[in-house]
């Protein structure tokens, strides 16, 4: 077998066998196949696609390219959740304690934020003392005992994805559904959970810009799960505006606390309740989503969901006093109100612009080496459909930087205000 033959085969729109995919992954990870050869194959896949069997085989070979996590010694169904990324997406920190408070076992490995999207690990680290680097035994013990742990990704898991992801980034082959799907699913499957819920975002703040493309990616990933005998479901959800009101690390943690007390924004509360109900059925704790949804609402109202959050953060070294007293979190020295230039209805909030602006205020990173200001970010005062008067508050910028005029102007322009309310499709679809 030869890599040149494999490249030529995919170049000519032919189907690769499991053996050919195995040969490619094994020898690329070992260094026998060079980056320039792998780049040629990635471009051929980008241009010509893959069928369902090829995508499934590629995912499985990537998953098996390094260590895999064995969670079989933890009782019950282990569940995991993955979002394709967005702006203000703090769902894992709300959803995890909610379902764990009802007996689910959430064993989750997460990533850091890059560019306009925030990372769950960064939000956790904005809580003083909170550790995201647990050993495998600590991780499993915590899931076993309190039902939830969220940690950084194991460096030895899925080395094929790490190499391929970096190569795709510099060869113009990122936007390929077979390559996106295999990247996400190989990591999730290597993490050892029995059931996975995917949240595939679409809109201005998401990687997939249209519902059509997001649905195609969701269907592809659910099919991978079916082919590998895993319970995988996917929600296709809207990211045309930020999720919730807060964007930025400790700002989002404060919103997590509010939501777990029943005071959260409507959009993020509804998403967490819907997703939580699906996951509780996947975990076989409830027979249907209606019963699960009712129990989740009850555990928010009686405080059990918030107390599980405190237990989870405390187990990972976080100072629980910040959770009981959010006013203890550091506040940026510059708090800048953003006012509307006209009266009318908010018809659009460009999530990408809000995410990029939060990053430039210090709340995110352009490269993995950048240091985040945990107090920086943006808090919205209006959402799509809201009425606003000229001169009324649209949002507030939080930053320790001093030259913010350009960012201010971009945030003002991110809000499109019109005379009438535009009809908007924010449909949520479940793929199973």
Mean pLDDT of 177-206: 93
Instruction: Please report, rounded to a whole number, the percentage of residues in the chain having pLDDT higher than 90.
Output: 87
Distance CA 330, CA 376 (A): 10
Q: Which of 333, 369, 320, 377 shows the shortest CA–CA distance to 128?
A: 320
Go through the domains of the chain in sequence order and give each one's CATH number. 3-49 (1.20.970.10), 78-324 (3.40.1030.10), 331-418 (3.90.1170.30)
Does 296 score more than 60 pLDDT?
Answer: yes
Active-site option among 90, 116, 187, 382: 187
pLDDT (0 to 100) of residue 116 = 63
Q: Which of 323, 267, 305, 271 shows the shortest CA–CA distance to 126?
A: 323
Does 80 score more than 70 pLDDT?
Answer: yes
Active-site option among 22, 78, 82, 233: 82
Q: Which of 118, 393, 425 shows the shortest CA–CA distance to 246?
A: 118
Q: Which of 279, 328, 415, 358 shows the shortest CA–CA distance to 127?
A: 328
Q: What share of the chain is helix, strand, coil (3-state, %, to 5)?
A: 45, 15, 35
Instruction: Please report, rounded to a whole number, the percentage of residues in the chain having pLDDT higher than 70.
Output: 97
Respond yes or no: is residue 183 known to be catalytic: yes
Respond yes or no: is residue 293 known to be catalytic: no
Name beta bridge partners: 393.
339
Respond yes or no: is residue 201 known to be catalytic: no
- Select the highest-mean-pLDDT range: 30-44, 74-88, 163-177: 30-44
pLDDT (tens digit per residue) in 89-137: 999 999 999 999 999 999 999 876 555 666 899 999 999 999 999 999 9
How sure is the predictor about 259, in pLDDT bands with cuts at 50, 70 and 90? very high
405 close to 360: Cβ distance less than 8 angstroms: no
Does 146 score more than 80 pLDDT?
Answer: yes
pLDDT (0 to 100) of residue 117 = 67
Report the range of poorest mean pLDDT among 203-212, 218-227, 305-314.
Answer: 203-212
Name beta bridge partners: 175.
none
Respond yes or no: is residue 187 known to be catalytic: yes
How sure is the predictor about 242, in pLDDT bands with cuts at 50, 70 and 90? very high
The DSSP-derived string for 272-326 is HHHHHHHHHHHTTS-SSHHHHHHHHHHHHHTSHHHHHHHHHHHHTT--THHHH-G
Distance CA 320, CA 128 (A): 9
pLDDT (0 to 100) of residue 366 = 74
Respond yes or no: is residue 82 known to be catalytic: yes
Mean pLDDT of 157-185: 92
How sure is the predictor about 207, in pLDDT bands with cuts at 50, 70 and 90? confident
Give, as one character, the DSSP assignment of residue 327.
Answer: G
100 close to 127: Cβ distance less than 8 angstroms: no
Mean pLDDT of 25-47: 97
Active-site option among 65, 101, 176, 183: 183
How sure is the predictor about 245, in pLDDT bands with cuts at 50, 70 and 90? very high
Distances (CA, A) of 324 to 40, 101, 330: 54, 18, 15
Angle at 411 between CA 393 and CA 364, to 5 degrees: 115
pLDDT (0 to 100) of residue 85 = 80
Active-site option among 161, 231, 240, 267: 161
- 185 contact partners, CB below 8 Å, separation of at least 6: 59, 63, 221, 224, 225, 232
pLDDT (tens digit per residue) in 352-395: 999 999 999 999 877 767 789 999 999 999 999 999 999 999 99
- The pTM of this model reads 0.93
Q: How many CA atoms lie within 13 A of 291 on its CB side?
A: 8
Q: How long is the chain?
A: 432
CB-count exposure of residue 159 (10 Å: 0-12, 13-18, 19+)? middle
Q: How many CA atoms lie within 13 A of 350 on its CB side?
A: 13
Active-site option among 63, 162, 168, 360: 168
pLDDT (0 to 100) of residue 86 = 83
Mean pLDDT of 331-347: 97
pLDDT (tens digit per residue) in 51-69: 999 999 999 999 999 999 9
């Amino acid at each position: 077998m030869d890599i040149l033959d494999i490249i030529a085969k995919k170049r000519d729109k032919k189907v690769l066998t499991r053996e050919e995919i195995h040969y490619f992954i094994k020898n690329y990870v070992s260094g026998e196949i060079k980056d320039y050869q792998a780049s040629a194959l990635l471009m051929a896949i980008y241009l010509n696609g893959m069928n369902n069997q090829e995508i499934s085989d590629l995912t499985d070979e990537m998953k098996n390219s390094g260590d895999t996590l064995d969670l079989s010694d933890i009782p019950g169904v282990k569940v995991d959740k993955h979002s394709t990324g967005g702006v203000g997406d703090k769902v894992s920190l709300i959803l995890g304690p909610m379902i764990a408070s009802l007996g689910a076992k959430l064993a989750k490995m997460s990533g850091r934020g890059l560019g306009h999207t925030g990372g769950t690990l960064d939000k956790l680290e904005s809580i003083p003392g909170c550790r995201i680097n647990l050993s495998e035994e600590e991780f499993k013990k915590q899931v076993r005992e309190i039902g939830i742990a969220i940690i950084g990704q194991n460096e030895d898991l899925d080395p094929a994805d790490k190499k391929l992801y970096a190569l795709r980034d510099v060869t113009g082959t990122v936007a390929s559904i077979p390559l996106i799907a295999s990247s996400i699913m190989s990591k999730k499957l290597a993490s050892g959970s029995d059931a996975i819920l995917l949240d595939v975002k679409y809109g201005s703040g998401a990687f997939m810009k249209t519902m059509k493309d997001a649905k195609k990616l969701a269907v592809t990933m659910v099919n991978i799960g079916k082919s590998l005998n895993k319970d995988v479901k996917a929600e296709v959800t809207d990211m045309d505006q930020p999720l919730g009101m807060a964007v930025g690390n400790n700002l989002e943690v404060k919103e997590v606390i509010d939501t777990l007390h029943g005071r959260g924004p409507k959009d993020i509360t509804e998403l967490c309740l819907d997703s939580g109900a699906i996951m509780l059925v996947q975990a076989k704790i409830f027979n249907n989503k209606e019963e699960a949804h009712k129990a989740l609402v009850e555990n928010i109202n009686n405080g059990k969901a918030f107390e599980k959050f405190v237990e989870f953060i405390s187990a990972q070294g976080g100072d629980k006093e910040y959770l009981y007293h959010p006013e203890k979190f550091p506040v940026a020295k510059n708090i800048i109100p953003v006012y509307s230039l006209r009266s009318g209805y908010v018809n659009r909030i460009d999530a990408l612009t809000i995410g990029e602006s939060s990053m430039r205020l210090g709340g995110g990173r352009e490269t993995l080496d950048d240091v985040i200001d945990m107090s920086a970010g943006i808090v919205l005062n209006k959402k799509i459909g809201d009425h606003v008067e000229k001169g009324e508050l649209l949002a507030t910028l939080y930053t320790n930087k001093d030259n913010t005029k350009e960012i201010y102007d971009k945030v003002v322009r991110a809000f499109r205000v019109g005379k009438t309310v535009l009809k908007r499709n924010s449909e949520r679809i479940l793929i199973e």
